[in-house]
């Protein structure tokens, strides 16, 4: 068994999801090689070489890999993949974009968004918004797997001392080009790896009310999330969305404020350790999954929560 894990990085930093993905690869067994692709990504490769349990780092450094376009990235994976039994990536927008393209180029059926490694060929994955868990076994020569980060405990960022091999890219496909990005900047922790998340829904009524949640978040060191309804209504940007088709989170504490608890929202947060719901409708389905439900008007309860936290923190 031998594993190739795609390293997700941005602005010279390795994204946390990479460490969860390495953990999944480790569970399958065998050597672990990391692939860092980018332009001027030597520093990232050096950092990747320190990750616990890594045998080798391949650093593909080429100008056309700068913006991680799938058309330039996938051929690189295809060139390397036949030396491996498994290719792994996080099941986020980075992995979901690139991995299926590489898998299809090699005539392999990808396994998406796994939550457990049963053995090297067999994986568990949620289907139907997490309302069923399928155990699937792959007979493919190279298994392309994307990993749900929240289901695997991250490996340590330090402790390894892998060798770094630098290679080039496969050239620019000429099919696509990067024009620009509007990345949400925040001082708060990343939604998918935060220990505490507080999310607002349609009940928040407008984006102007979100600072109410942000104040609580800053007291708790929490990330701020949202339901689809809150994103669709323009209260907050798209990258706040938690759910079946947004981000999956599983923090120690999830606080849902003015969120009804639709199946699609629950799919993204019901594996949180402790769930709090604040909703004025005592029939709201969110209460069925909440460990602590508070039936209250959020416009009273949230400021009160902020004040109460001041007393105990």
Partner 1 sequence: MKVLVPVKRVVDYNVKIRVKPDQTGVETANVKMSMNPFDEIAVEQAVRLKEAGTATEIVAVSIGPTQSQETIRTALAMGADRGILVEADADVEPLAIAKMLKAIVEKEGPELVLLGKQAIDDDSNQTGQMLAALMGWPQATFASKVEMKDGSMDVTREVDGGLETINVKLPAALTVDLRLNEPRYASLPNIMKAKKKPIDTMSPADLGVEPAKRLEVLKVVEPEKRQGGAKVESVAELVDKLKNEAKVI
Ligand X SMILES: Cc1cc2nc3c(=O)[nH]c(=O)nc-3n(C[C@H](O)[C@H](O)[C@H](O)COP(=O)(O)OP(=O)(O)OC[C@H]3O[C@@H](n4cnc5c(N)ncnc54)[C@H](O)[C@@H]3O)c2cc1C
Q: Is 299 exposed, middle or buried (0-12, 13-18, 19+ CB in 10 A)?
A: middle
In angstroms, rounded to a whole number, what is the distance separating the alpha carbons of residues 34 and 220?
Answer: 34
Q: Does 291 bind partner 1 (CB under 8 A)?
A: yes
Selected from 13, 252, 281, 297, the binder of partner 1 by CB under 8 A is: 252
- State the minimum distance, in angstroms, from the CB of residue 84 to partner 1: 17
In angstroms, rounded to a whole number, what is the distance separating the alpha carbons of residues 279 and 281?
Answer: 5
Cα-Cα-Cα-Cα torsion 153, 154, 158, 160, nearest 10 degrees, comes to: 80
Selected from 119, 178, 206, 211, the binder of partner 1 by CB under 8 A is: 178
* Count of positions on this chain that bind partner 1 (CB under 8 A): 93
Whose CA is closest to 196, among 183, 213, 209? 213
Three-point CA angle 35, 41, 45, nearest 5°: 50
Residue 183, marked binder:
no
Selected from 85, 193, 241, 272, the binder of ligand X by CB under 6 A is: 241
Instruction: Please report, as residue ranges, which positions from 93 to 152 form the binding site for partner 1 (by CB under 8 A).
Output: 93-94, 96-105, 107-113, 122, 126-140
Q: Does 209 bind ligand X (CB under 6 A)?
A: no
Kindly tell me which of 138 and 260 has the beta carbon lying closer to ligand X.
260
Instruction: Please report, as residue ranges, which positions from 243 to 282 form the binding site for ligand X (by CB under 6 A).
Output: 243-246, 258-260, 262, 264-265, 268, 279-281
**Residue window 169-208: x/- pattern of binding to ligand X, with contact defined by CB under 6 A:** --------------------------------xxx-----
Q: Does 239 bind partner 1 (CB under 8 A)?
A: yes
- Is 251 in contact with 195 (CB distance < 8 Å)? yes
- The neighbour count for residue 153, using CB atoms within 10 Å, is 9
Residue 260, marked binder:
yes
Q: Is 244 helix (H, G, I), strand (E, B) or coil?
A: coil
Residue 244, marked binder:
yes
**Chain Cα centroid distance, residue 226:** 16
User: Where do we find the tokens 């990808």?
Assistant: 110
- Is 166 in contact with 61 (CB distance < 8 Å)? yes
Structure tokens at 199: 């999310």
Residue 33, marked binder:
no
Q: Does 187 bind partner 1 (CB under 8 A)?
A: no
- The neighbour count for residue 215, using CB atoms within 10 Å, is 16
Contacts (Cβ under 8 Å, ≥6 apart) of 55: 31, 32, 33, 162
Selected from 10, 13, 83, 297, the binder of partner 1 by CB under 8 A is: 10
- State the minimum distance, in angstroms, from the CB of residue 256 to partner 1: 11
Residue 109, marked binder:
no
- State the minimum distance, in angstroms, from the CB of residue 180 to partner 1: 5
**What DSSP character marks residue 291?**
S
* Count of positions on this chain that bind ligand X (CB under 6 A): 27
Residue 279, marked binder:
yes
Kindly tell me which of 52 and 71 has the beta carbon lying closer to partner 1.
71
Binding-site annotation, residues for FAD: 202, 227-228, 241-245, 258-265, 279
Residue ranges in contact with ligand X by CB under 6 A: 201-203, 227-230, 241-246, 258-260, 262, 264-265, 268, 279-281, 284, 297-299
């Amino acid at each position: 068994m031998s594993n190739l894990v795609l390293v997700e990085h941005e602005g010279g930093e390795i994204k946390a999801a990479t460490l969860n993905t390495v953990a999944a690869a480790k569970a399958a067994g065998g050597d672990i090689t990391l692939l860092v692709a980018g332009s001027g990504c030597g520093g990232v490769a050096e950092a990747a070489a320190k990750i616990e349990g890594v045998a080798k780092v391949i650093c593909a450094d080429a100008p056309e890999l700068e913006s991680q376009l799938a058309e330039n990235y996938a051929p690189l994976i295809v060139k390397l993949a036949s030396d491996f039994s498994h290719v792994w990536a996080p099941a986020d927008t980075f992995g979901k974009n690139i991995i299926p393209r590489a898998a299809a180029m090699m005539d392999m059926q990808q396994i998406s968004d796994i939550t457990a490694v049963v053995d090297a060929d067999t994986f568990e994955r949620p289907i139907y918004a997490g309302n069923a868990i399928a155990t699937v076994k792959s007979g493919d020569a190279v298994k392309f797997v994307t990993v749900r980060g929240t289901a695997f405990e991250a490996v340590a960022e330090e402790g390894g001392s892998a060798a770094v091999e630098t290679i080039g890219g496969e050239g620019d496909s000429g099919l696509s080009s990067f024009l620009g990005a509007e990345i949400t900047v925040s001082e708060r922790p990343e939604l998918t790896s935060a220990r505490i998340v507080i999310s607002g829904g349609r009940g928040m009524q407008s984006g102007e009310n979100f600072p109410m949640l942000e104040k609580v978040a800053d007291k708790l060191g929490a990330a701020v999330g949202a339901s689809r309804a809150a994103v669709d209504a323009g209260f907050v940007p798209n990258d706040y969305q938690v759910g079946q088709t947004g981000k999956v989170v599983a923090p120690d504490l999830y606080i849902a404020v003015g969120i009804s608890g639709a199946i699609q929202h629950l799919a993204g947060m019901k594996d949180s350790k402790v769930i709090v719901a604040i909703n004025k409708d005592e029939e709201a389905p969110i209460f069925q999954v909440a460990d602590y439900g508070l039936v209250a008007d959020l416009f009273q309860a949230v400021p009160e929560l902020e004040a109460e936290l001041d007393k105990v923190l």
